[in-house]
Each structure stands twice: as structure tokens, then as C-alpha cells.
A and B are shown apart, each in its own frame.
Chain A
């Protein structure tokens, strides 16, 4: 057993975004979960034995101290482009890739006792997310090989898929040049740092897509789809019996192949800060939130007998009208149009709804509330610049829902982007994912929003009419149609 103790020198590491200083270093065993690095408080726990495994672990922790986010970790998580757990595992991959790039033998030495058993356990517990996370975190190391051996012992299909994911994750990280991948510079426009972490973020978003559904769920979905198609064909009848069956990659093989990460040339996209202005609302709209009784010519018990003589339609009964409100967020960038008449129609179909329009004009207010709680503006504001704040606007809109049943509609042409930036597929995916999670209906025009509100009013379900750009991005990233 090695008895010589090796020191570790985190003070020697320099960064663009963080001051150097004294570190508190403590010892631990060379086992998974024990070594750690706290950059903010400058604390490092590493094994200090003089052996190959301890050396790569020390290198791994030093690399964290060199390139991982320090005080800005929360800011990256709050961007909500990827989940915190995905960011954590992909950061492990980035650090291992960089260690390997500077000559540390992570491929040969970085492992821990029990990696094979972890592989067996994730399959036994059907923990698909845990399996993907472990595969990505250990990609490019011997631990990955041992983990996959454990997986394959119980589920060969999972083993093949996870092997493919590990390879793709590793390849994706290696694509980026070392200087860029390890950069600790501050991204001036957004103030985020370290800039090299953007690659962790983009791959983490991909990992989130991979963990969304397990292979079994993909298979079940594909089978259900095929069955629905077969049933539809049977109902139609009369079709030629010699019609070929459409090829489906989801029935057999790897359904995750179609899910791809954003390009390595990815530049850090970011949203602007949402600045909201509530415009003066001198006008009242029809209807309001909550229950209200209105006169009706149909009913069981006449309650408004006076109308028998005065109302030409003789509406002597009561009818209960429920205004459940709703939220309509309008992308008011240059590529969109919206009129006061459309606003009136929205409120007619969703009494008491909150309607806001947003566009980034460089500075100042970028989101205007034009209707709220049964009141509306006289005149719509001057809009029609960039997008800039799509996600913050829909996130804000979601918080404005009057109750859980209130519908929310986002009117956009899909050309989402940050302030003074080009279209970003990563930001688009962020918006699509959020809307899917929160049941936010997406339509490309205000007229369609009115149609959907009419449907809701009739008690029908609102339908998403996804803009073409969203459909294209979704297909490219997930390999599935956006429906």
C-alpha cells in the first residue's frame, strides 16, 4: 500500500473570473462521492496517496478549481436551459475531457470500486435518468466501461443505447477546441462566467432531452402510434392491401439517435431582462372573472319577470357565466402584427384575461400589459422591434394565471432570440419545453389565438398550432415531430 503522501496545489491555478487565494485542503479516500471542490470557499478534499488513481482524482479536482463555475453556478441554473443535475454530470465530462487533453490518464485510471454494480443497479431499478447521467459523467474513462458492463448484464438494449450516448457525449465535448472549452473569461453582454461552461450547458440540454423518456417509453409510444395508424387505415377500409408499412426507427434500434445536441460552434445565447409596464386601461371589456348571472331566454325558473314586457327577446331566466380569465402573451416583434380589434375579440372570448405584448427595443420597457382584470387600453403601444425576452415573458405570463384552469396562449412566429442576437435553437427548445411542461398553447397568429379561446369557451380543448421554425428545430433536436 502506498504510504507516501502527496500534496495538492490549488493555489497555483489562475482564472480570469476569480481571484486566487489560499485553499483549505483535506484528505479523503479515493472513492466515488468523497473528493470535492468548493471554489467559492476555496475548499478541496482529495486523496493524497501516491498512486495513479489518486493522482487523476487530484487532477480532476484541480481541473474543477481551474474551469468550473464558481460563484455563478446559480446564474447558470437559473437560465433554465438545462437542469441542474444535467449540468452537474456534463461538467464532470468537460473536466475529464480537459484532464485527458493535458495528459492525465483518466481513460486508464479514473474509476472507483463498484462502478459495475452501479450499472447493474440502474437497470434493476429502471432508473433511466440515473443511467444516462452516469454514462455521460464517466464518458471517456475506464469507469464508463465498467458501468456499461454492469448494465449489459441485465439489459443488452440499454447497454447499447448507453454506449452510443457515452460515445456521442465524449465526441461532442472533444469537438470543441481546448482553449475555448476551458475558458474562464466573463461573457460581457450577459455577465455570465466562465464562458467555457456554455458547452456544458448545450450538452446538458441534450442530456435532458435524452432522459425525458426511457427506451421502453419510446417503444410504447411508437407501438401506440403504429396501432393508431393501423386502426385508422382499417376504419377507412378499401385501401390497397399492398401498401408498404412506413419505416419506424422507434420500434427497433436506438430511438435516441435522432436526439442531437446543438452545434459545437454554439455562442452563448441569453435573454434580456423583462421590464414590464402596465399601460393605463380606461376601457372596460365585456365579462369578467368568476361566476356571474346573466339574463337568458332559456331556463327552468323565471327570475327576471320584468323582462317579459321590456326585453324583446324575453330573457326572463338566469344563466351562469364563468369567466376563468386566461393569459395571452403576444410576441410583438417586427415580424408580427396585432390590432386593437383582435384584443377586443380576445377579451370577448376570455373575459378578464391578462394580455401582454413584448418586444425588445434596445432599452427601457420591453413588455406592456394591455389588458387585465376586465380593463383594456385605448391604444396599443408602438412595438415591432426584436424579440429579446420571449422566455422571461412567457414565464411571467404563467405566473399571472388567475387559477390553475385558466388557459394560457403564446402567440409567436417562432423566431425567438435574445436581445441583438440571431435566432437561437437552444432558446427555442427552452421555450418549447417550458410550454409543453406547463400546457401553454402556442399559435402563430392572434386570429388563431382567438379561435383557440373560442374552442376553450365552448368547452373544447385548445390546439397547438406550432410555427414552422419551432417544428423544424424540434425535429432537428429530438428526431420527433412537434405535435
Chain B
């Protein structure tokens, strides 16, 4: 692998995602190491003209962020504010948008149950507005991408994984994201993205890249990589042997 050239061919995982989205499958789980660009991909890859709406799951979140809630309007009354899932269903009013559900494995039980309903197949999915009584359905073109760091898909509930037939492991940063890094570091960012316990994120390489111009390689490595600075610099040195 050449560390100085931008790849013209998409890495396999990204090619798989592109092929999936371009050919009519609208429910995909992206899993793999963190900091590799899964959410970014969900927000930008494929048809997102009708908008992309992100939902970050935590144990403390409520259904408010999924479907919506009444909020005080400052005049003694309440207004309904749509949650991310409902926004994605409605999209731009003509076509449905994209819902990106981050860290699905961290969602609480009731949020998880609501998400199951919202992510059901278009024929079954529906939600009734609590005040207007209007029944909402996902507009044509609605798509959903879930991201998780869980490596074993068996750990996710079957009801959820059944709704998402395609599961793609993202193990390399997207080439577009790599372009923001100096050419000599791109190969390392790719190699270390999926290095298990010794993983180094793309963001860390970007920080090192920014620092080294002013502070020099050694100082930047110490600041960015801490105790691993010497071993990382040694590995970079070894890798330069053919250059």
C-alpha cells in the first residue's frame, strides 16, 4: 500500500455501502471501530437531498428525541416539536429523508421499542400524533442507517437486526476524509483505524499532522500519542525504508 497516493478505488467497505444504497436498500447497519467515519457516511452518502437527521442514543434519552414532544412556547401554551425520526419520515415534505441512529446498542428499552416501530417496513410503520390525531407514515425515499461499535451483530436484538438486512463492517476511513490528512500519514491512518487495542483514530493523526508543522515530529508525537510516541515514530521510520 502506498502511503503517499490518494486511492482512486474505493475501499471495499465503502464500495459495499455505496452499492447497497444506490440499489434500493434503505436499511443498513454500519459497525466497526469508532472514529472511522460511519456517522459521516450516514449523513452524506447516497440520496440525502430530503435531509439527514441524526439521533444519538444514550441510556438517559427519551422518546421525545425520537418522535417529538410538546415544548413551552413562552406564551403560556405548548407547541409540538418533531423528533429526529419524525423529521426524517417527513423529509422535505415531498420525499422522506434519512435517519441516522448512532450507538443503537446504548438505547433504553422504551426508546428502543419506539425505534422498532419507526424503523418498521414502510407498509407497517405508522405513528399517530397525540394532539392532532393525524396518522404519519414515512414518505417515499425514507432511509435509515444505524451505527454501532459492537463487533458481533449477534449482540444486537434480533427484532432490530431483522429490520436491517444489510450489515457492513467499516474498517477503513473514507478516502474523502483521508484527503484532509497529509499524504505521508494517510497509509498509517488506514492501517491503524482497525488495529484493535492499538487503534489510532483519524482524528489523532489529524492533530499530529497539524502540530508537527510547528512543533516538529517528536514533540507533536509526544503530545498526540503520549507513551506510544517513540514506538509510533520508530514504526514510521521503518515504513519509510522503501522511500
Contact = CB atoms under 8 A, between A and B. Distances in A.
Interface stretch (B77-85, B107-115, B225-233): B225-233
A8 interface: yes
Interface in B182-235: 187-188, 190-192, 194-196, 198, 227-228, 230-232, 234-235
B135 interface: no
B1 A102 contact: no
Contacts of B191: 11-14, 20
A273 B236 CA distance: 40
B242 interface: yes
A7 B241 contact: no
Nearest to B238: A62
Contacts of B75: none
Contacts of B227: 4, 6-7
Contacts of B232: 9, 12
Given A7-B227, A14-B191, A20-B1, A63 B241 contact: yes
Interface in A132-191: 178-179, 182-184
Contacts of B190: 20
Contacts of B231: 6-9, 58
Interface in A1-50: 4, 6-16, 20-23
B242 A184 contact: yes
B237 interface: yes
A330 interface: no
B9 interface: no
Query: Which range contains the number of A residues in contact with the other chain?
Result: 20 to 34
A6 B196 CA distance: 17
Given A58-B231, A179-B243, A102 B198 contact: no
A178 B234 contact: no
Contacts of B240: 102
B192 A62 contact: no
B1 A62 contact: no
B136 to A, nearest CB: 45
A14 B196 contact: no
Nearest to B196: A22
A9 B3 contact: no
A124 B242 CA distance: 41
Contacts of A6: 227, 230-231
19 contacts: A6-B230, A9-B231, A9-B234, A10-B235, A11-B192, A11-B196, A12-B191, A12-B236, A13-B191, A16-B1, A58-B234, A59-B237, A66-B239, A67-B241, A102-B238, A102-B240, A178-B242, A179-B243, A184-B242
Interface of A: 4, 6-16, 20-23, 55, 58-59, 62-63, 66-67, 98-99, 101-104, 178-179, 182-184
